Amino acid sequence: MAPERPRPVRRLRWLVPALLALAWLALGSFAGPYAGKLSEVASNDGSAFLPSSAESTEVMELRKAFDDTGAVPAIVVAERSGGLTDADVAYLDAAAAGLAALPFNAGPSIPPQLSAEDPPEAAQLVVLIDSGADDADAVADIRDLLAEDRPDGLDVLVTGQAALGADLGAAFGGVDGLLLLVAAAVVAVILALVYRSPLLPVLVLLSCGFALAVASAAVYWLADAGAVDLNGQSQGILSILVFGAATDYALLLVARFKEELDGGADRFAAVRRALRGTIEPIAASAGTVVLGVLCLLFSQLESNRGLGPVAAIGIGGSFLAAVTFLPAVLALFGRAAFWPRRVGAGRARPSRLWAGVAALVARRPRVVWAVTAAGLAVAAAFTVQLKADGTSQTEVFLTDVDSVAGQEVLAAHFAAGAGAPAVIVADESSLDEVLAAAQVDGVASAAPAVDETGRVRTADGLVEIEAVLEDAPDSDAALDTVERLRDAVHAVDGALVGGPTAIQLDTLTTSERDRAVIIPIVLAVILLVLMALLRSIVAPLLLTATVVLSFGATMGVSALVFNHLFGFPGADPTVVLFGFVFLVALGIDYNIFLMTRVREESARLGTRAGTVRGLVATGGVITSAGVVLAATFSALAVLPILFLAQIAFVVAFGVLLDTVVVRSLLVPALTIDIGKAVWRPSTLAKVRPPARG
């Protein structure tokens, strides 16, 4: 009977991974649809992300006493070079009547306003869209109406706050489908090249898909309940981050699994040992990224603060799938997962490439780190050329859109800020004083707002004043005008300035504050995590310094590329903040993967030999992980949004720089040159290396 006893154990070895795989299949089937529903709970309205303390937010709250419709303006602008014809004017009169009859129109019927040329070459109509209507649908209805019976040669465009928002939402429309498709395709191609197997990439992609499904469901429920703020940027970053992180963790686990199989272990023992050997660096990596992105909770912008928990949930889903589903299917498939490649005892071959790199680093470590650090420092010096003080709203788009073209036409023929004036709220008794103070450079006109009867609009002892700006409301000149306007009217007690331009100004100011506050917090958090993981002070300080240097070099190269290759108009301050958070957190990931293995080997072989062994063992898998992460972040560039294209380049280039240069050359060379002192004050710093020979 004794020989029969192991059978239940053998069955259990199959049963546990099979049940885990089935549980994930069921969970993925339930949660998967939520990945396509995130757009339903996402908002791209920038005004909703400002802190309550912002002046423009205070003005929005005060304006509710004047008008509870919360109407958003859409501006119809028509242009004909050489002058409008009688047919054009008749068409515009009919269009005004048709627009006034639309169910979402919250304003009175206003006749077309003609430009000042003789004969007039342009006309504009303002449509106020009720807050209860969907801006995108309303703008689409306006454009459909204007397309009817339009005279040949007359250009008619819809711009203004509502149209810009609708076009921005359309640009983010590819988040649910196109972005995921591109990311999955990129990961599949790279994994096929890395593994040279048709099955293993499918298993890894399933792990990524399940991770995204679970994360999407959690984010959907939280956003629907109002617990987190989700926008198109966060939604896109969530998808890319999950695919990149889940693949990175999978590469590390699969590499260790193959290493154990090559050492002669059976599939179940190989999975156990692989999981035991990688759980610490994977958990430390996930924990570091989670803590890093949660530092965004210190932001005063709801859009930034919302990304923190959204990204953390994504990393959590990636970690969960990597340490449960993937080990289960690897145990079930065993060596067959690598088909047609053969793996098993005696088939392990050290990489000649990484053996050569390790030999170079070990032979002349000081020269290697000095040259590498100098090159990174030179690249970092170009950071001063980075223009990260904000861009106009019309410069956000990388493709031609009607709202931007309409804004250009509006600026050419009218006071560019006519459709989106600055709004001043002041005490009714101070009306004349505020009107006088509002006459600053850049303000075309200032007058009290009136209702449909022509009376000055007042409420609760307050009066509302509209200041039309000479420049486009999202331009740098308009921002400067609002700053001058605020300086002038603040001399009158209780006067506040809001409106679209003020919202943009407050957003930029808050973004710059966030960057100055959050970056030091991220550094401190990551340094503490490394100290706890490596049980050392010297090594964490060293690793943090190398990642900061790598980030500086990345931003320097980005400045050159953005300014001289792509010709970008500038960058938002959040590009630097998000780039720092992701690059430092993800860059530390690869150092964690390397240094945990180096520490493990150093305990047996000494620091010098342990570093060489760790670099050879992890070089291929970490570089593959870096290539995958860079490629997945590059997929963000398929969305025609300036911010996402810049984040795509910054993170992709930075990750490649970190994996190819910093982790492969700089960190190992410094570790070897410093020697066992790198582990101070841990006991490993006191261990004598084994005698040679």
Q: Which value, in Å, is the radius of gyration of the alpha carbons in the chain?
A: 30
213 closest CA partner among 239, 236, 241? 239
Quote the CA–CA distance of 320 and 79 in Å, as a whole number. Answer: 57
Q: What is the DSSP letter of 396?
A: G
Q: Which tokens in the block code for residue 587?
A: 């860059």
Cα 3 → chain centroid: 58
Token pair 């004794």: residue: 2
Q: What is the pLDDT of residue 2?
A: 42
Other beta carbons within 10 angstroms of residue 11's beta carbon come to 10
pLDDT for 84 equals 92
pLDDT value at residue 70:
64
CB contact burial 525-538 (16+ within 10 A = b; e otherwise): bbbebbbebbebbb
Q: How far, in Å, are 289, 290, 586, 643 from residue 284 at the CA level?
A: 9, 10, 11, 29
Q: What pLDDT was estimated at residue 5?
A: 45
The two structure tokens encoding residue 496: 């506040």
Question: Which residues of 62-189 form beta strands (DSSP E)?
Answer: 72-79, 113-114, 122-129, 155-159
> At 566, phi and psi to the nearest 5?
-90, -20
Nearest residue to 571 via CA among 640, 651, 483, 647: 647
Pairing of strands 72-79, 155-159: antiparallel
pTM: 0.83
pLDDT lower than 70: segments of the chain: 1-12, 44-49, 67-70, 109, 174-176, 344-351, 419, 452-453, 685-693
Residue 50 burial (C-beta neighbours within 10 Å; 0-12, 13-18, 19+): buried
Whole-angstrom Cα distance, residue 472 to residue 419? 9
Q: Which residue in the block uniquely carries the two structure tokens 């790199």?
A: 357
Residue 676's CB is within 10 A of a number of other CB atoms, namely 19
Of 342, 314, 408, 382, whose CA–CA distance to 563 is shortest? 382
For the stretch 597-636, what's the b/e string if a residue is b when 16 or more beta carbons lie within 10 angstroms of its beta carbon? bbbbbbeebbbbbbbbbbbbbbbbbbbbbbbbbbbbbbbb
Q: Kindly state the DSSP code that residue 341 receives in the 8-state scheme.
A: S
105-158 pLDDT tens trace: 887 767 888 988 888 999 999 888 887 788 888 999 999 999 988 999 999 999
Domains of the chain by start residue, with CATH: 15-44+197-340 (1.20.1640.10), 421-498 (3.30.70.120)
Classify the phi-psi angles of 125: left when phi > 0, otherwise alpha if psi is within -120 to 50, otherwise beta. beta
Instruction: State how far the Cα of 298 lies from the Cα of 304, in Å rounded to an integer.
Output: 9
pLDDT of residue 1: 39
Round to whole Å and give the CA distance between 240 and 215: 12
Q: Which two tokens stand for residue 629?
A: 């992460």
Q: Is 690 helix (H, G, I), strand (E, B) or coil?
A: coil
pLDDT at 231: 81
